Amino acid sequence: MQYISNTTEDRQAMLKTIGVSSFEDLLKKVPNKLRHFDWKLPKGVSELELLREVVEAGKSNHHFHDFACYLGAGCYDHFIPTVVSQLAHRGEFITSYTPYQGEASQGTLQFIYEYQSMICELTAMDYSNASMYDGASSLAEAALLALRMDGRKKILIPDTVHPEYRQVVRTYLSSIDCEIVAVPMKDLSVDLEKLKSLAGPDVAAIVLQQPNFFGVLEEARQIAEIAKKAGALTIACVNPISLGVIEPPGEYGADIAVGEGQPLGNPVSFGGPHFGFFTVKADLLRKIPGRIAGATVDKQGRRSFVLTLQAREQHIRREKATSNICTNHSLCALKGAIYMSLLGPKGLRRLSLINVKNAHRTRERLLKIKGVQALSDRPFFNEFGLVIEKDQKDLALSLRKNKILGPLALDRFYPQLRSAYLIAVTENRTEGDLDRLVRAVEEA
């Protein structure tokens, strides 16, 4: 299948205009040595065959229409209203380019501005950029920002932050002269006493995740106060859906608030593309990475939107840029904006509460099963840990049989947490799903 529009006649006519007798004549500069190679690629197929083959390949995937997903840990099975993908997948959004030519891209620029506004409302922060790749890399960029502030070289990251996020921060900071200090956890949350002892004058930033990797709600305000006392920045990494009922980072003293935007209207899609949101308090505006859309006017005084504060970015500052980011996750942020519009303030609240209700009900029923114990009694949002004293293999088989995906075995990331599992429960989980989950655990 080819998507070429030139006919054979066109091709001939063009070669003639160019003044060559064959296409090969245009490749004289390419060394002959390089022209001969063995290409082991499949033969092309028609669209008919393509769809058939890909659908067939997909059959071996256990997906959410057939299985109830109790996996979370950074991306969640939330319901996405039909309007979101219908609008976001319009050709005018999906096949449009970065809005460098503002007059040809007012649609894109306005949705970015609206997205920025909505995310700031959600997080109670002052400014947002136009999106980044994901929560983990946004967190890493926040750490880089903090390290560039005034010479402090330490970043404190609790063990309760998503393990893959911590890995990403380590990778991003690996060529920088700095130190990442782990803050131990106590009862699945940040050990505040240890944090206090680690928070010295050489600390550039303290990171917290809210809710944390275990779904537990941290004492965010206290952590931010400890940071402030030490003269360090507070970087909060938050779940946007939780902000319907949980205090937003702007209220408890975060200087930078980042997080994974996937729960806002983006499908799980095996881990990507999602989007990272990046918001700051006003005094950090000029240090923000990535694109930003701003409102202004055109020559006739009409309201217009344009990419602004571009002098921070790579195409202007090159090696002195605030980040190397160019392509971002614009379309994912658009889905986020459409989703947030459909939620409205009432929807956000209700969605949050449904998640809290479903998760707490699930935990309640599971705790009644013999062999199941709480991992912590700390407050949580829509995700929690449990100890399930069953043989791991038997449990896995039983869950599969009952068409359940997850829960996540925690010893994958925390070897000391044997027989412990992480369970995420969203508004998509029904009482019927829960019956099957309970049965699966009971029967294992």
Partner 1 sequence: MSKLLFEKHSRNEAEWLPELGETEAKVLENIPQSLRRKKEARLPSVSELDVVRHFTELSQKNFCVDTHFYPLGSCTMKYNPKALDAIASLSSFSLIHPYQKADDVQGALQVLHDTERWLSEVTGMDEFTLQPAAGAHGEFCGLLIVGAYHRSKKETHKKKVLIPDSSHGTNPASAALAGYEVVQVRTDAKGHVDLADLKAKLDEKTACLMMTNPNTLGLFEEEILEIAQAVHKVDALVYYDGANMNALLGICRPGDMGFDIVHLNLHKTFAVPHGSGGPGSGPVGVKKHLAPFLPTPRIVKSGAHYAFEHDVPLSIGRLRAFYGNFGAIIRSYAYIKALGSEGLKAVSEHAILNANYLRVKLRELYEVPYDGPCMHEFVMAATRQKKKGVRALDIAKRLLDYGVHAPTVYFPLTVEEAMMVEPTETESKETLDAFVEILKKIEEEITRSPQTVLDAPHSTPVGRIDEVRAARHPDLRYHGKQV
Partner 2 sequence: MDTSKLRYTETHEWVSLNGNNAVIGVTDHAQKEISDVVFVELPKAGKKVQAKDSVMVVESVKAAFDIYAPMSGTVTKANEKLSGKPELVNQSPLGDGWLYELECSDPSQFDKLLTEAQYKNVSSQAAH
Interaction residues for partner 1, span 183-242 (CB under 8 A): 217, 220-221
Pick from 195, 215, 200, 141: nearest CA to 173:
141
Partner from partner 2, partner 1, none binding residue 44, C-beta < 5-8 Å depending on class: partner 1
Q: Rounded to the nearest 10 degrees, what angle do helices 330-367 and 106-123 cross at?
A: 30
DSSP state of 151: S
- Other Cβ atoms less than 10 A from the Cβ of 299: the count is 6
Q: Name the minimum Å distance from CB 187 to partner 1.
A: 15
CA-to-CA distance for 356 and 366, rounded, in angstroms? 15
Q: How far is CA 44 from the centre of its chain?
A: 34
DSSP state of 374: E
Pair 345, 416: CB distance under 8 Å:
no
Report the site for partner 1 in 311-330 (rule: CB under 8 A). 311, 313-321, 323-330
Both tokens of 98, joined, read: 């970065």
Report the site for partner 1 in 241-280 (rule: CB under 8 A). 243-248, 251, 260, 267-273, 275
According to CB under 8 A, which one of 255, 383, 427, 433 is a site residue for partner 1?
Answer: 427
* Residue/partner pairs of 341-346 with CB below 8 Å, 24 or more apart: 341/114, 341/118, 342/81, 342/83, 342/84
Report the site for partner 2 in 320-359 (rule: CB under 8 A). 320
Q: Name the minimum Å distance from CB 185 to partner 1.
A: 18
Both tokens of 122, joined, read: 């959600």
Which one, 52 or 315, has the nearer CB to partner 2?
315
Partner from partner 1, partner 2, none binding residue 392, C-beta < 5-8 Å depending on class: none
Q: Does 148 bind partner 2 (CB under 8 A)?
A: no
Which one, 231 or 310, has the nearer CB to partner 1?
310
Which one, 63 or 229, has the nearer CB to partner 1?
63
Partner from partner 1, partner 2, none binding residue 438, C-beta < 5-8 Å depending on class: none
List residues bridging with 205 in a β-sheet. Answer: 155, 233
Report the site for partner 2 in 256-295 (rule: CB under 8 A). 286
Amino acid present at 432 = G
Q: Does 21 bind partner 1 (CB under 8 A)?
A: no
Q: Name the minimum Å distance from CB 148 to partner 2.
A: 13
Segment lying near partner 2 (by CB under 8 A), choices 68-76, 232-240, 312-320, 419-427 = 312-320
6 CB-contact burial (10 Å; exposed 0-12 / middle 13-18 / buried 19+): exposed
Q: Name the minimum Å distance from CB 178 to partner 1.
A: 11
Segment lying near partner 2 (by CB under 8 A), choices 125-133, 216-224, 305-313, 411-419 = 305-313
According to CB under 8 A, which one of 13, 18, 51, 316 is a site residue for partner 2?
Answer: 316
Report the site for partner 1 in 383-422 (rule: CB under 8 A). 396, 400, 405-406, 408
Both tokens of 321, joined, read: 């840029």
Tokens 């946004």 locate to 138
183 CB-contact burial (10 Å; exposed 0-12 / middle 13-18 / buried 19+): buried
Q: Does 158 bind partner 1 (CB under 8 A)?
A: no
- Cis ω on the peptide bond leading into residue 407 (within 30° of 0)? yes
Report the site for partner 1 in 103-132 (rule: CB under 8 A). 103-108, 110-111, 113-114, 116-118, 120-122, 124, 126-128, 130-131
The sign one gets for the Cα dihedral 281, 282, 284, 288 is positive
Report phi then psi at 359, rounded to 5. Answer: -65, -40
189 conformational bin, left if phi > 0, alpha if psi -120 to 50, beta if neither: beta
Q: Does 143 bind partner 1 (CB under 8 A)?
A: no
Q: Does 30 bind partner 2 (CB under 8 A)?
A: no
According to CB under 8 A, which one of 52, 148, 153, 171 is a site residue for partner 1?
Answer: 171
Q: Name the minimum Å distance from CB 232 to partner 2.
A: 19
User: Which stretches of the chain bind partner 2, using CB under 8 A?
Assistant: 286, 309-311, 316-317, 320
